[in-house]
Amino acid sequence: MVTDILKLCGFGLAAVMLCVTVRQLKPESAVYVNIAAGAMLLLAAVRLISPLVGAVSTLADNAGISGEYTEVLLKALAISYITALSADCARDAGEAALGSKLELAGRISIAALSVPVFVQLADLIARIISQS
């Protein structure tokens, strides 16, 4: 795991140096290098996170937590990472306002994804109160 993150960080630093060099020679192309490097890092990180997903699923099953809740949690985590990467790319391209809107869209997506969980929670609370 440590060697994997060292490789990713090394790649990231090489990408930074490449971006700086390209920005000096052809500024409009630096954004594309940045986006490509970010996408490659994201794909590599997804490969690293798959054991974590398995561990979280196993823990949830052992604790008796519904797989639906685990799925919502993992999807929200994925949305947040992808949104952060996209917003950072927009900011790197000089589009801070677009980056902020991407973050807002990510927050709305997570909220929409969470609605079924909140509905089930509200139903549970209503049943507990009605039994009292």
In this prediction, residues 92-99 reach a mean pLDDT of 88
b/e code 36-70 from CB counts within 10 Å (16+ = b): ebbeebeebeeeeeeeeeeebeeebeeeeeeeeeb
SS3 state of residue 94: coil
Residue type, 121: L
Identify whether residues 75 and 128 lie together within a single domain. Answer: yes
Region of poorest pLDDT, from 6-10, 57-61, 99-103, 105-109: 57-61
For the chain, how many structural domains are there in total? 2
Helices assigned H by DSSP within the chain:
2-25, 27-63, 67-92, 96-131
Q: State the residue range of the domain holding 53.
A: 1-63
Q: What is the pTM of this model?
A: 0.70
Nearest in space to 106 (alpha carbons), one of 72, 86, 83:
83
Q: By the 8 A CB rule, do 88 and 99 touch?
A: yes
pLDDT bracket for residue 38 (50, 70, 90): confident
Same domain for 57 and 94, yes or no, is no
Q: Looking at residues 3-32, what average pLDDT do you find?
A: 89
* 54 and 73 together in one domain: no
Percentage above 90 pLDDT, the chain = 28
Same domain, 56 and 103: no
Same-domain status, 80 and 122:
yes
Residues 130 and 71 in one domain: yes
Q: Are 82 and 124 in contact (CB under 8 A)?
A: no
Torsion of CA 46, 50, 53, 59, to 10 degrees: -150
Q: Are residues 74 and 131 in the same domain?
A: yes
Q: Is the pLDDT of residue 109 over 90?
A: yes
Which band of pLDDT confidence, cut at 50, 70 and 90, is reported for residue 5? confident
